[in-house]
Amino acid sequence: MNKKSILITILSLCQASFIFAGGILTNTNQSAHFIRMVARDASLQIDAAYTNPAGLVKLNDGFHFSFSNQSAFQTRTITSTFAPFAGYGGNATKEFKGTASAPIIPSLQAAYKTGKWVLSGNIAVTGGGGKATFNDGLPSFESQLAVLPTAISAMGVPTTQYSVDAYMRGSSFIYGAQMGGSYAINDMFSAYAGFRLNIVNNGYEGYLKNVKVNPQHPLVNPTGGMMLATDFLTAAGKPELAAMVADREIDNKQTGWGVAPILGLNFNCKALNIGMKYEFKTSLNVESKTIDGKDGGLAQFKDGVNTPHDIPSLFTVGASYQITPQFLASVGYHHFFDSDAKMADDKQKFINGGTNEYLAGLEFRINSMFLVSAGGQITRYGVTDDYQKDLSFSINSYSIGFGGAVNVAKNVMINIGYFWTTYSDWDKENAKYASIPGSDPVVYLSGKDVFSRTNKVFAAGVDFSF
């Protein structure tokens, strides 16, 4: 354990991703249409302003708008097995659970069509979108303290317990504003060109205070009760160890912005429609702003320090087929080029290629007023063991969404949907789970983490045109 390790672990709590659907840094669930049907990459409705902007040429002339709100709720659980945990609570296996909620995730799609031309825009939370508070810590954090009694015992002072006051809170938002134009080349082909301005706004708060241990030392701690670890280690002539567990605090904001060009193409032939889109990488850094000098002693959180925060390029393709006038089927594919996007600590080096998503959906119109829909998505990440770190982990999943729409007026439609995700657990064995502080040569202890998550999203929206 070195001087920075505990605070770095605290920050790993705060830097958790808040992604609900899509790649590592990208939200693809931009409307209630997606939540109720999932596969929307060949859409010809107003939600195509995000999913398939080249297909907007199939709208009627005039103004078209869609407003949606999503409420997303996640849990992230790490079940950890590490022998020193048994010294606090009696069990070597512990469960660390965090929750993230985002009750308001709004998005707006807009388009104006005249003849062969369409001007469109999209405003949404294109990445992140939530806040999380962690009250019980994480295994990589507690493991740094769990070995403290072992280190003190190695000094000849029997010690069995530790305690700490810790608080962590993180927020992550990437706001996106997209604008572009579509043109109908002929009845079958149309094209789109545009851009998206991405603005990053992250916030981190955390502290580590009052680390205590119970050294059985007749002079320094005659009662054998809990005492501040810094006091004991200072009295024991170990100032370097005392510095490691001294009180630390972080209050930090990170901001940045970048622009990504977007190209699209749509093909339509009778009942068949195919949409394609390519979003270029958003190259950006986030700049650190520390409040009242509370940077935790970490260089990357000092004022003015820039950290890579690229949003990877994305290719999507989808096809829909109107099987009958009432029955529509759709499929889609997404690929995120994650390995080409620079990330903090060069985490992109631990990704083999990128993320692949496979989508399918069905929609059935009951009558002129009601329709129902459902769909699914399979997500496969290219991350490796070295990428997975506590709550900033990405694990394979499949998702199901369903819902419907109601035409409450000739040009007004309400969409509602529910979407949930089931994740595959990820087991990670680590031979260097934590080191014993002060050991020379360094002595590492092994441990194991099992990462798991849950996710559910509710959405409602309204489309209208005139």
Q: What is the mean pLDDT of residues 128-133?
A: 69
For tokens 């409602």, the residue is 460
Instruction: Name the more confident of 301 and 420.
Output: 420
Instruction: Please compute the mean of the pLDDT values over residues 178-198 and round it to a whole number.
Output: 98
Structure confidence at residue 130 as a pLDDT band (50, 70, 90): low
Higher pLDDT, 411 or 303: 411
Separation of alpha carbons 217 and 224, rounded Å = 7
The tens digit of pLDDT for each residue in 263-280 reads 999 999 999 999 999 999
Radius of gyration from C-alpha coordinates of the chain? 26
pLDDT number for residue 177: 97
Give the domain ranges of the chain.
5-465
Give the SS3 label for residue 387. coil
Query: How far apart (Å, rounded) are the C-alpha atoms in residues 386 and 247?
Result: 29
**According to the model, what pLDDT value does residue 298 have?**
65
Q: What percent of the chain has pLDDT above 70? A: 92
What's the pLDDT at 12?
45
Return mean pLDDT, the chain: 89
Each residue's pLDDT tens digit, 99-123: 888 888 999 999 999 999 999 999 9
**Which candidate, 400, 269, 376, 266, places its Cα nearest to that of 322?**
269
Q: How far apart are CA 394 and CA 426, in angstroms?
A: 9
What pLDDT score does 222 carry? 93
Give me the sign of the Cα torsion angle 407, 112, 332, 70: negative
Q: List Cβ neighbours of 419 (8 Å cut-off, separation of 6 or more).
A: 21, 29, 34, 35, 38, 399, 400, 401, 456, 457, 458, 459
Structure confidence by residue, pLDDT tens digits, 73-103: 888 889 999 999 887 878 899 888 878 888 8
Per-residue confidence (pLDDT) for residue 8, from 0 to 100: 47
pLDDT (tens digit per residue) in 151-174: 999 999 999 988 888 777 788 889
> What is the model's pLDDT at position 129?
63
Per-residue pLDDT reduced to its tens digit, 329-388: 999 999 999 999 888 878 889 998 899 999 999 999 999 999 999 999 999 999 999 898
Q: What is the pTM of this model?
A: 0.88
pLDDT number for residue 14: 45
Q: How confident is the model at residue 306 (pLDDT cuts 50, 70, 90)?
A: confident
Residues 6+ apart with CB under 8 A from 382: 338, 339, 351, 352, 353, 354, 355, 356
Q: Taking residues 403-432, what's their average pLDDT?
A: 96
Give the pLDDT confidence score for residue 141 in this predicted structure.
77
385-391-394-398 Cα dihedral, nearest 10 degrees = 130
pLDDT tens for each residue of 19-58: 445 567 677 888 999 999 999 999 999 999 999 999 999 9
The residues near 5 (Cβ < 8 Å, ≥ 6 apart) are 144, 244
Q: Assign 374 to helix, strand or coil.
A: strand
* Predicted local confidence at residue 171, as pLDDT: 82
Q: What is the DSSP letter of 217?
A: B
In this predicted structure, what is the pLDDT of residue 391? 64
> In CATH, which of 3.40.50.20, 2.40.160.60, 1.20.140.10, 3.30.1600.10 is domain 5-465?
2.40.160.60
Give the dihedral sign, CA 84/90/93/95.
Answer: negative
Q: Tell me 18's DSSP state.
A: -
